[in-house]
A = this chain, B = another copy of it.
Amino acid sequence: MSGRLQFFFEFASTYSYPAAMRIADIAQAAGVRVQWRPFLLGPIFKSQGFDTSPFNIYPAKGRYMWRDLERICEDLGLPLRRPDPFPQNGLLAARVAYVGLERDFGEAFCRSVYRAEFGQGRQIADTAVIRDLLVELGQAPDQILTRAHSEDIKGRLRAATHEAERLGIFGAPNFVVGDELFWGNDRLEQAISYARARSGINQQ
């Protein structure tokens, strides 16, 4: 029996970038199965009275976050280029991600989006950028974009966002094991250990 973990992330979220780049390898090494669940932070922030990222609303917090992310990316050997505007709108990317996740290119697409957005500063709300990323992955953009705008896919994204709210999620990334939340890229290892322990796999 393997451990299970839900990975709630938002494409606009800076700390979701290193988490998304790291999680597959770490989870695989630990024998933990990960369900990728892109969701939207916008509605959750709105219900807290924020109309943009708290990193924009509180400049000192924003300055710290960019410096901290710089250190994290440097340690991981990940490129970092701050997208303008920040935050980017992650709606289109999230819908396309759900198409990828029902097929076989979902996780690779999510990593591509983050690499484009935070590694190269590209505009992920731009359909042309998303098309490029799909082509690079050997996928046919037209058919995927049509599916991405279907009620079925829109519904999956809405369901993930509602589930995030129900779980008490207020930021991203969040690693969820049962109803237990682990918030932030720096909680990934702890969440993986928890998922393993819960599934009865012995710690090595």
Q: Is the pair B60, A169 in contact by a Cβ cutoff of 8 Å?
A: yes
Q: How many residues in A have their beta carbons less than 8 Å from beta carbons of B? A: 18
Judge if A86 is at the interface, Cβ distance under 8 Å: no
Most chain B beta-carbon neighbours within 10 Å: one of A60, A170, A186: A60
> Which residues of chain B have C-beta atoms less than 8 A from A186's C-beta?
186
Q: Give the contacting residue for A170; candidates B61, B67, B71; CB below 8 A.
A: B61
- In the complex, the answer to whether A60 meets B170 with C-beta atoms within 8 Å is yes
The reply to whether A168 and B48 form a contact with Cβ atoms under 8 Å apart is no
Among B58, B68, B171, contact of A183 (Cβ-Cβ < 8 Å): B68
* Contact call B58/A168, Cβ cutoff below 8 A: no
For A169, the closest partner residue in chain B by CB is: B60
Interface residues of A (CB under 8 A from B): 48, 58, 60-61, 63-64, 67-68, 71, 168-171, 180-181, 183, 186, 190
